[in-house]
Copies of this chain bind each other. A is one copy, B any other.
């Protein structure tokens, strides 16, 4: 029987949920053309406190409920979760899927941590779990992996997927200001939260990378599998040195796959100045994907914000609605390949950037390079500068050729023990 209309339920009334509610109501006609029948926003589940918001009055209070059971009892085909955080969102998602409802979520934390369980639940119940908005805001990313790039063997993902840190790094690079000032200005503009830890320590990026890597490599990549290093230890002089050496500094989320080994890490990276990723500034995100057929493709756009995120969530709602109208259930298949493993970080082979404060006296550079040489780490370029004439200290900046992470860690320990470093 042809569906007369599709019922939609929304959970949450933050900025994103508010954006979604507005788009669903204000663009009802265009959306119904996309789907083939009307999408009707039937109920919004909120907390008591949300009822006093202006938007609640605008949309009409009878749309709202604070009661879970009342919400789930409604005739709803698609549940949109825009609450965020692990609890109680996870329970709501499970409840919705078990009840045979298609789910649209922007919840990177829940998808990153519990995706495998949720996908299995969705498949069991013949419904879809849509999460385009969980990574990269409005930039199409999940859909390309699920559809456009399926013929490819994906070898690498190189992503700027946290707008807050990219904004801070851009300010530090362009204006020479230090990390605390850049952070403060990001907070003032609403780009960083009062407690910025999740962003600046790279945790937010590990969630998003876990989602993308799981999808691209068909392996369960958990957030704790991702080696993570934030940006708070970067100094304004690092950007100066980077520029001298021809690089930009970006917080990159990197996923690589070869020989069934998967490498996943988030940390500040020196990127050659002429590459496109180096030119992604401010709160923008960009995701470079390497596939064996497609070569390099890059996706760029605003990674956050109510409007871009609602663009992705409403697109997911339309997609779920099309599945309902055409009776196709779970259209996208999901599976894990059993033979893959996460590569231990100690086996990583990459180039390093070191900045050392040393005594400004003859022979120190020789000592440092001997320690590195002992660990088979070879130097590609060096900058040495006197920093403090009185204290007779200097800074040595070293870029290495590719070296093993384990050797580098050993070398760093030895360097720390040296009196002159």
Q: Could you tell me which A residues sit within 8 Å of B by CB distance?
A: 19, 23, 27, 31, 33-36, 132, 137-140, 143-144, 147-152, 276, 279, 291-302, 305, 307-308, 310-312, 314-315, 318-319, 322-323, 326-333, 335
Question: In the complex, are the beta carbons of B151 and A147 less than 8 A apart?
Answer: no
How far in angstroms is the closest Cβ of chain B from A147? 6
**CB-based contact A323/B328 at 8 Å:** yes
Closest 10 pairs between A and B when the two form their complex, measured CB to CB: A326-B328, A328-B328, A138-B294, A297-B301, A151-B314, A140-B148, A293-B311, A298-B300, A294-B311, A293-B307
Do most interface residues of chain A lie in helix, strand or loop, or is the interface mixed? mixed
- Taken together as a complex, chains A and B put the C-alpha atoms of A326 and B140 apart, in Å, by 23
Count copies of this chain in the complex: 2
Apart from the given pairs A23-B293, A276-B300, A292-B307, 6 other A-B contacts in the complex at a CB distance below 8 Å: A137-B294, A138-B149, A140-B143, A140-B297, A149-B315, A151-B315
Asked if A293 and B331 sit within 8 Å, CB to CB, the answer is no
Nearest chain B residue, comparing its CB with the CB of A141:
B148
Chain A to chain B contacts (Cβ below 8 Å), 13 pairs: A19-B293, A23-B151, A139-B294, A147-B315, A149-B315, A151-B310, A151-B318, A293-B307, A293-B308, A295-B307, A297-B301, A298-B299, A326-B327
Please determine whether A301 and B298 come into contact, CB atoms closer than 8 angstroms. yes
Shortest beta-carbon distance from A42 to chain B in Å: 19
Within the complex, what minimum Cβ distance (angstroms) separates A104 from chain B? 12
A138-B293, A148-B315, A315-B147 as given contacts; A300 in contact with B302, CB under 8 Å = no
Contacts of A312 in B (CB 8 A): 148, 294
In the complex, chain B residues whose CB is within 8 Å of the CB of A149: 138, 140, 311, 315
Chain B nearest Cβ from A68, distance in angstroms: 27
Note all chain B residues with C-beta closer than 8 A to A329: 326
A321 to chain B, nearest CB (A): 10
CB distance from A320 to the nearest CB of B (A): 11
Q: Which residues of B contact A305 (CB under 8 A)?
A: 295
CB distance from A257 to the nearest CB of B (A): 14
Q: Closest CB-CB distance, A282 to chain B, in whole Å?
A: 12
**Chain B nearest Cβ from A139, distance in angstroms:** 6
* In the complex, chain B residues whose CB is within 8 Å of the CB of A297: 138-140, 299-302
- A215 nearest CB across to chain B (Å): 12
